[in-house]
Chain A
Amino acid sequence: MPDSPLLIVENLVKHFPLNSSLLDLLLRREPDVVRAVDGVSFSLARGEVLAIVGESGCGKTTIARTLIGLEEETDGTILFGGQRIGTHERRLRAGLIPLEAGAVGTREQQTLPRMSLKHLRQHAQMIFQDPYESLNPRATIFEIVAEPLVVHGLLRKREERIARVKSALEDAGLRPAEDYFLRYPHELSGGQRQRVVIAGAMVLEPELLIADEPVSMLDVSIRAEILNLLKELQKKRGVGIVFITHDLGTVAYFADRLAVMYLGRIVESGPTAEVLRNPQHPYTKALLSVVPVPNPRLRRERIILQGETPNPLNLPGGCRFHPRCPVAVAACKQSDPAYIRVAEGHETACLLVQPA
């Protein structure tokens, strides 16, 4: 990687323990865990867009929530701008790690000392999937966009605050900004609301944006506008974006690099164009083949995987894709494949792929 990456994630693990019964406790049974994220590593350069693609339940949203500190990781390292931000590490040092991870329900009390989480959140912001849900219906647009400034005690002068909110709204394409200050979310359309969310995320001028399906709830004609806006912000401001999506079409347009996830693992990653043109992993190939393409002349042979993604509660042994893999061989049941370099920056975890 040329110069230091903005974000490095190493072997990130997030397990959600299921509620264990009294009997389990008495018998000292290991609680069942949902392995939502199970050893994910990636990095993001400054100003780069990385797309994390996968079907629901693959763990992509959990990654987003863990990066921003809404969930506490079970294991692994997160480096942001060279600083460790993970909660695990800190709590380990402070002797705070409980013997078992059974206390997730009270994560509020367990999170980082507030200052450091706050520090992270000044520099990393999240955009949520549902613009109808992520704005407080009883707050005005001004209050919503100014909220991060209030929370972090920045720009305490009224005029400065107004000026910053105004420029954030205008950068997000809501012009003239003053017209929006005193309106409520329900007075805006879906696209406008998502612009407000983006303005609120950009008002602190963060270095990292985590966008969780930012356009999947919007109408097709509005989607393009929001994607263009995000792209413009990324180019002009040099924000790095982790883009979580299930839609490969959007990825093709938007991302520099692409990571395909299946059941809590990245199965293939690399430069977007390279992965899309030359997919190696059978899952990536299947996924690409079923994305509907808006051109009836391009109706192709689809590789339709039967069944659905297994429950991350009981992962299959060996390669976790083998039960649905159309080309699986006997060895796939035995060994969990390691990452293989296929081309510059292009890696995949499949036993059948030959290294470059």
Chain B
Amino acid sequence: MAESALLRVCNLNTEFIIPDKGPARALEDVSFEVHPGETLGLVGESGCGKTTALMSILRLLPSNARISGQVFFKDVDLFGLSEKQMRAYRWRELAIVFQGAMNALNPVMRVGEQIREAITLHGLMSSSEAEMRVGELLELVGIPKERGAQYPFQYSGGMRQRAMIAMALACSPSVLFADEPTTALDVMVQAQVLELLNDIQQRLGLAIVLVTHDLGVVAEMCDTVVVMYGGKVAEYGPVDVIFNDPQHPYTQKLLESFPDLNEPTDPSTDSRQVLASIPGAPPRLTEIPPGCRFEPRCHVRIEKCKTESPPLMDVGENHLAACHLLK
């Protein structure tokens, strides 16, 4: 892909050492690139490693994790930095909105103060400048400035999520990681938050990495999609290709299993289609199958899939998929 990548993740491997259970391979050879102003979607089911990938990139994993591979931010290898140097990148360049972040606000501190804290901690501004900045940020995410003096319990769920986004934007990062930013929000509030993300991206020109399980959100928001399964990249490509010409059997089935609002069942004809479904459950990370990780649930598996893990192969322009059946 293009050489001007903002963030390049190369062969990222992450294992968790679990006492008595051996290592759990949470990520294996995960690679992708994020370009300026782009929205990249990391999609997959629970346990597929999408959150682990974020945490690995930002080096925020618990101590029992072992990471290998490289992550380049503007040609700086983040894994080669000391913890102190890394801290300078987190938040200033790479900001994150955590999963369930709206419950992560300190309940006894005014929202504005919490945002100011995020700014002053990095020592970038004097406190009076920071005060101004808090106002700007709140307005940017659509919260009236005055409400910065309120406490989190006076905010609705959607507003708290906005406040968390404002906090992430405090130091004008170049990449915003958003982990399930709309999970547990109602559709209407979800739409508001997604619109806000779109709007911010256009105004500030930042790149967004959106981690989600919701294919609908990906289709609405993203330019490029990484489909993950069992800790590996199953398919990687532009959003239009992934949704309209998926190559990996997992992506295909996943899309088919999504009920389509535009084709409601009509009881008068009773031509009730059956939703495609994927039997079984995703692999446990401590019991990863030796071959392709999707093999036990795959509808088109062949003998080779049981023993050999398929590499990512070029299947089109900027389009990669990991399946033995593809040439």
Q: Mark A299-328, 1 if CB is under 8 A from B, else 0.
A: 100101110110000000000000000000
Identify the closest chain A residue to B282 (Cβ): A219
Q: How far is the CB of B296 from chain A (nearest CB, A)?
A: 13
Residue contact B262 to A298, C-beta cutoff 8 Å = yes
Residue contact A220 to B186, C-beta cutoff 8 Å = no
Residue contact B261 to A272, C-beta cutoff 8 Å = no
Residue contact B277 to A221, C-beta cutoff 8 Å = yes
Residue contact B213 to A220, C-beta cutoff 8 Å = yes
Q: How far is the CB of A176 from chain B (nearest CB, A)?
A: 15
Q: How far is it, in angstroms, between the C-alpha of A228 and the C-alpha of B274 when the chains are bound?
A: 7
Residue contact B259 to A254, C-beta cutoff 8 Å = yes
- Across the A-B interface, the 9 shortest Cβ-Cβ residue pairs: A292-B216, A253-B259, A290-B191, A224-B257, A224-B277, A221-B278, A224-B275, A55-B186, A252-B264
Residue contact B240 to A296, C-beta cutoff 8 Å = yes
Which of A113-121, A150-158, A243-251 is the interface stretch? Answer: A243-251
Tell me the count of chain A residues lying within 8 A, CB to CB, of chain B: 49
Identify the closest chain A residue to B250 (Cβ): A221
Q: Using CB atoms and an 8 Å cutoff, list the residues of chain A in contact with chain B.
A: 55-56, 189-192, 219-225, 227-228, 231, 246, 248-254, 256, 271-273, 276-277, 286-288, 290-299, 302, 304-306, 308-309
Q: Tell yes or no: B220 within 8 A of A by CB.
A: yes
Total A-B Cβ pairs within 8 A: 152
Residue contact B261 to A296, C-beta cutoff 8 Å = no
Residue contact B264 to A273, C-beta cutoff 8 Å = yes
Q: Tell yes or no: B153 within 8 A of A by CB.
A: no
Q: How far is it, in angstroms, between the C-alpha of A293 and the C-alpha of B194 when the chains are bound?
A: 14
Residue contact A221 to B195, C-beta cutoff 8 Å = no
Residue contact B219 to A224, C-beta cutoff 8 Å = no
Give the one of A219, A225, A309 with max B CB within 10 A: A219
Identify the closest chain A residue to B220 (Cβ): A292
What are 5 A-B pairs at a CB distance below 8 A?
A: A253-B259, A276-B261, A293-B262, A294-B260, A304-B191
Residue contact A302 to B156, C-beta cutoff 8 Å = no
Q: What chain A residues lie within 8 Å of B222 (beta carbons)? A: 296
Q: Knowing A249-B216, A297-B244 are in contact, say whether A221-B188 is a contact too (CB < 8 A).
A: no
Q: How far is it, in angstroms, between the C-alpha of A190 and the C-alpha of B45 when the chains are bound?
A: 12
Q: How far is the CB of B270 from chain A (nearest CB, A)?
A: 9
Q: What chain B residues lie within 8 Å of A224 (beta carbons)? A: 257-259, 275-278
Inter-chain pairs besides A291-B187, A294-B218, 12 sampled, C-beta below 8 Å: A228-B274, A228-B275, A253-B265, A254-B259, A276-B261, A290-B190, A291-B216, A294-B215, A296-B219, A296-B240, A298-B262, A299-B219
